[in-house]
Amino acid sequence: MRRDAPAKINIFLKITGTRGGYHELRSRFVRVDSLHDTLSLEKKRTPGGGFELVCDTPLPEKNTLSTAYALLKEEAPGIEALFKEYALHLKKRIPAGAGLGGGSSDAAAFLHLCNEVCSLDIPTERLALIGQKIGADVPFFVYGYESANVEGIGEVIVPYEERAPNVRLHTPPIHCDTAAVYKAFRSSFFDKMDPDAAKEWLDVPSGELMESLEPKEANDLYPAALLRYPQLEEYAESGMFLSGSGSTLFEKI
């Protein structure tokens, strides 16, 4: 019983407004299947107890998977029986603080895994609503689209039919804290926010966008990430795009 949790990149990302304590965006998300974490359910040596997460990388006590379990338990209390017998094992390959959505993808994969194993029959749309409470990127991974235009605070997801471009990822040894990058955007670039930004890009294939856009033009968080983590500039070769709030850079191949 296992499921892969793929990474994602943002071909473009524009901040279009705020809603409460959240930033609204307009972005093209593209799934990257070549890089993925793997979740599996494995029998406990000693049955009993509650939810147990075993990971090959240290995780904070409160993480996207523990949050997903707590929310799913409210939706389907019966899953508690599953985790008396099985522990959740996570093999991490997607680096944290890289703008690749690893934690969000893990949560989405967990929701689907439990839905299938426990025959919960929760519709995908409902899983996406649960995912939205975990993080803004989770619904995209729940739907499993190869490519999609994402707006609002991540809840408006429209699949985009295309053959996604082949890309090469470069993740420098820099952990970019998402909250810190958004804070830098607020303090230094907030006045440049445009509610209509990138509307004309929604119908353009990702490969064409990568050929026509300047990387720092494509992602509003790129300048903010450089402001907060100036060492990122050492790795940002010409033509490399930044995914999300960083630190992963990518290029078309």
Q: Give Cα separations from 152 to 40, 136, 184 (angstroms).
A: 32, 9, 20
List 4, 8, 14, 37, catalytic entry: 8
Is 137 marked active-site?
yes
Catalytic pick from 14, 37, 106, 137?
137
Angle, helices 64-75/102-117, rounded to nearest 10 degrees = 30
For residue 252, indicate whether it is catalytic.
no
The b/e string for 58-91 (b: 16+ C-beta within 10 A; e otherwise) is ebeeebbbbbbbebbbebeeebeebbeebbbbbb
For residue 102 the two structure tokens come to 């690893």
Which are the catalytic amino acids? 8, 137
